[in-house]
Structure 1
Amino acid sequence: MRSSNPVFSRRGFSRDNGYAGFNAAPQAGGPAVATQGNPYAGQQQAPANPYAQNPYAPQDQQYGAPQAPAATRMTMDDVIMRTASTLGLLVVTAALAWALLPVDDANISKSYGIAIGAGLVAMVLGLVQAFKRKASPPLILAYAALEGVFLGVVSSVVDNRIADGAAMQAVIGTISVFGAVLLAYKAGWIRVNRRFYGFVMAAAVGFLILMAVNLLFMVFGGGDGLGFRSGPLGVVFGVIGILLGAAFLAMDFKQVEDGIAYGAPREESWLAAFGLTMTLVWIYMEFLRIIAILQGND
């Protein structure tokens, strides 16, 4: 699934000469139009369509391509339920970590250690899923659970030791961005096409390189590194991170829309949930960082 997230790369619902087939599917509720870019049109672009392998699959009248049987195709309800499952598990484990892993002076080192360990394992599981050809629900749920532990401890530290109420403010900010991007996408104000995709991916690569360089300076030079994640520059880069997350949300919505329009198998809804969860975690962490910087300087 080709990635619309800043860290991971995954097989996409639609592929068109190396890009997610952004010119192939309807957007903003418009009617679906069959084009050569249809990633499920196995008779036109067989190598690009991972789901057009069964010659006995029913032919879709609109797209003229073998698709999954109607009873096993991905629907919006599937995406919503899978996303609710991953986010729900993440929230539960975050709440448990907040409650059970204290961040007072006597226990903060231990809690930090558990959080970092959980975060690293979650990253590894995310990478494994990213390179798998098919969705693995246990792997995705394990990722969500461990990511929740990491977020729970980090949020507790920021909320209790730096900026009171920061976690709730970050949650509200994340929900607001999600709602705004969804509204803009459905209204057609955001057009996800190849140019949009290329610009966002280039910006994300540059952003990640800068953050990696800053991290190296922090590890080997101490302090705040180059200052990209603290102080005024930290706020600026935090805002850039949120804007990138919003752009990736729009591309996630596009991939979900393509998958439903082209009759992707139901298990692909797990990949959609995986991508949306990663993007929302990204946005939440950027909000949390900005709030910590602003209130920590008061």
Structure 2
Amino acid sequence: MNFKSKNPFLNNKSFSATTAAPKEQVHQATVIDYNQEMTLSGTINKTVLLFLLLIASAMVIWWMAFNGMNPIVPAIGGAVVGLLLVVVAAFKPQYSGYLAPGYALFEGLFIGGISAIFEARYPGIVIQAVGATFVTFGVCLGLYRFKIVKVTEQFKSVVVAATLAIATYYLISWVVSMFTSFQPVHYGNSMMSIGISVFVIIIAALNLFLDFDRIEKGVAEKMPKYMEWFGAMGLMITLVWLYIEFLRLLSKLSSKD
């Protein structure tokens, strides 16, 4: 996410003039509206709103799934549309005010459908995954808030590289398994598969620190108001990823019983 400053205060031509304006022109100065800048409270409020939208959408699919509907179709549809909205937001963050709520609603379809499938097979797994996700979020937020973990450039490089490696591995494994009988090592409930899930969860959790850092810097650099939606959307993406990985890990552990 690019947090290059677009602060209207810094871009106002009145502050780039090299000569003072005549006294009779002073009343024409542009008034800067600081309510149009990104704030921490605004980002938190939007994150909560996105979370509520996601939960509402997920509960609808959850209810429908346990009343006889196959949740696969809405889950896949929600995942695809959600991914498309994320890609658009990455290139057009100024539209995040519309894209972020849409992402939350469609991703809720995916979360609701997947959760219903896992819950039907492993009763109680959803509440465990939700609890683990919130605990991880709270711990990471505390570590960041009290500067126990500092987001340095080296830290960012390692986490981004690991995240891209995981995404590449998942993509290649999915494509290969579609056209061959090859079973990726992260499938099943072997110790190797469980170890991979634990590693992926750690990387997903480390991405939370990057999200916190981006939001904090966006506020400090007085980014435009729409970046609150952008920052909230990025945080939601990481939380969804973390939740899904906890579901996968817990299902592997449950299947060994």
TM class, shorter-length:
0.7 to 0.9
> Larger Cα Rg: Structure 1 or Structure 2?
2
RMSD of aligned residue pairs (Cα, Å): 2.0
Distance of aligned partners of 1:178 and 1:244 in 2 relative to their CA distance in 1, 3 Å threshold: same
Does structure 2 retain, via aligned residues, the 8 Å contact 1:167–1:288? Answer: yes
1:166 corresponds to 2:156 = no
Query: What letter is aligned with 1:141?
Result: P
- Unmatched runs of 5 consecutive residues or more in structure 2: 17-31
2:3 equivalent to 1:13: yes
SS at match of 2:158: helix
Structure 1: gaps spanning 5 or more residues = 3-11, 15-39, 41-48, 59-67
Cross-structure match for 2:77: 117
Residue 238 of structure 1 contacts residue 286 of structure 1 at CA under 8 Å; is this kept in 2?
A: yes
- Shifted more, 269-278 versus 188-197: the winner is 188-197
Q: Which residue pairs with 1:78 in the alignment?
A: 42
**Would you say the 8 A contact 1:214–1:226 is kept in 2?**
yes
1:53 counterpart residue number: 11
> For residues 68-111 of structure 1, what are the alpha-carbon distances to aligned partners after superposition, in whole Å with 9 as ceiling and x for unaligned?
7423222221011100111110001001100013486xx53xx2
Of all paired residues, the percent bearing the same amino acid is 29
For these two proteins, the number of residue pairs brought into alignment is 240
Residue 227 (structure 1) aligns with: 185
Contact kept? 1:57, 1:69, Cα under 8 Å:
no
The higher relative CO (CA closer than 8 Å, separation ≥ 6) is in: 2
Aligned-partner Cα distance in 1 for 2:179–2:251: 24
Corresponding residue SS for 1:136: helix
- Correspondence for 1:129: 89
Segments of 4+ in structure 1 off by > 2 A? 49-58, 68-72, 101-104
1:155 deviation in Å? 0.4
Q: CA deviation at 1:133?
A: 4.1
State the Cα deviation string for residues 141-179 of structure 1 (Å, max 9, x = none). Answer: 111101001110110110112x11111111111101111
Shift of 1:50: 6.8
With structure 1 as the length reference, what TM-score do the two structures score? 0.75
Match of 2:174 in 1: 215
Aligned mates of 2:15, 2:214 — CA distance in 1: 22
TM-score by length of 2: 0.86
Deviations 1:179-206 (A, max 9, x none): 1111111121211111011111111121
